[in-house]
Amino acid sequence: MYSERINNLPPYLFAAIDKAKAGVIEKGVDVIDLGVGDPDMPTPDNVIQALYRSAQNPNRHQYPSYTGMLSFREVAAKWYKEHLGIELDPVSQVLTLIGSKEGIAHIPLAFINPGEIALVPDPAYPVYKIGTLFADGKPFIMPLLEENGFLPDLDAIPKDVAKLAKLMFLNYPNNPTSAIAPEKFFEDVIEFAKENEVIIVHDNAYSEMTFDGYKAPSFLEFDGAMDVGIEMHSLSKTYNMTGWRIGFAVGNAEILDGLGRVKTNIDSGAFEAVQEAGIEAMQGPQQCISDMNKLYTQRRDALMVGLKELGIDVQPPKATFYVWAPVPEGYDSMGLSKVLLEEAGIVATPGVGFGDYGEGYVRFSLTRSVERINEAVERMGQLKI
């Protein structure tokens, strides 16, 4: 009944987690969900009010522009300048997205012919690989290993593969590992891209979620980056707007034009009232970012106590709201996740769900209150692991 394209897809990780979680809840268990990376705090009220006002304007009820409102793209360009130090032309170097996931999933359709290669990190956000498969491309896996700081080893990519590759997906600060990338890495990536004519797609959704004085760079701030790539950004995590589905892509105009041509034929653009809410988020008070980072730091530090209770040694992450923890001896990632869920009522994401090289780890999301995380820590302390 289904196409081979659908039949060959792995089950979407978070849908499987939701099913397992529902089964435990049906048994009456009070579940603490540290699985999916969905912020638990509400969208700032000024953003909600902006949506309300805009939605009452009949002019917002018609088809939007495919590339996004120029006013939204102008504010996105200004935000990039103020937050990340990058100069952008809002007309040619900014493209509105219906959430960055949509842009990530669609860009292989613009550049990959059937059988062509995309360089995909592993473990990683599943959509890099799935988007490649939907375009009938071949993902070539770049392992992210702890001994390499969870950075891909560019020298390990065979020269013939590098020459055939069309795209490379990257994501720092990283989901799921919470790793950060040094400047030298981005410089090496740009050199690799130029040598092999590879388009770089950098997913920078977590740039503002940083702790302990760390500031995440933009890929585009490095010399030559604008020649070889684009960066995806999202308002989802920065402003607690996951359900609003609004983001943008910035960078090389020719690459963005290719993505825009796909979008023109597939979707009709983002609802303009949501774009106006996005404008308010980016140009309104920014205190919400530092407030959330303080909260995530408190949650991170609370979770560290629980992991020590389990005998898990992990360094506190400097970015994202994830903790990527090695599993104790005698367990694999699915096994530990199952124990946490069935014996302690805690949802943690098995690392293998992010790819084969995620085996041996679980990911915890800091998306519950300090009180709930403390309760999870107490439950962890009672486990016989």
> Which ranges of the chain would DSSP assign to H, the alpha helix?
4-7, 13-26, 45-55, 70-84, 100-111, 127-134, 159-164, 183-196, 225-228, 253-266, 272-283, 287-309, 333-344, 370-381
Which among 243, 230, 38, 12 has a CA at the least distance from the CA of 131? 12
Say yes or no: 237 and 344 in one domain.
no
Say yes or no: 118 and 222 in one domain.
yes
Say yes or no: 53 and 14 in one domain.
no
pLDDT, tens only, 124-183:
999 999 999 999 999 999 999 999 999 999 999 999 999 999 999 999 999 999 999 999
**DSSP character for 328?**
P
Instruction: Provide the number of structural domains found in the chain.
Output: 2
Say yes or no: 255 and 334 in one domain.
no
Range of the domain at 182: 45-283
pLDDT, tens only, 221-267:
999 999 999 999 999 999 999 999 999 999 999 999 999 999 999 99
CATH number of residue 301's parent domain: 3.90.1150.10
pTM confidence score: 0.96
Say yes or no: 163 and 294 in one domain.
no
Residue where a domain terminates, one of 250, 283, 316: 283
Residue where a domain terminates, one of 248, 264, 283: 283
CATH number of residue 93's parent domain: 3.40.640.10
Say yes or no: 86 and 161 in one domain.
yes
Say yes or no: 34 and 61 in one domain.
no
Say yes or no: 262 and 234 in one domain.
yes
Say yes or no: 186 and 321 in one domain.
no
Say yes or no: 274 and 292 in one domain.
no
Say yes or no: 54 and 100 in one domain.
yes
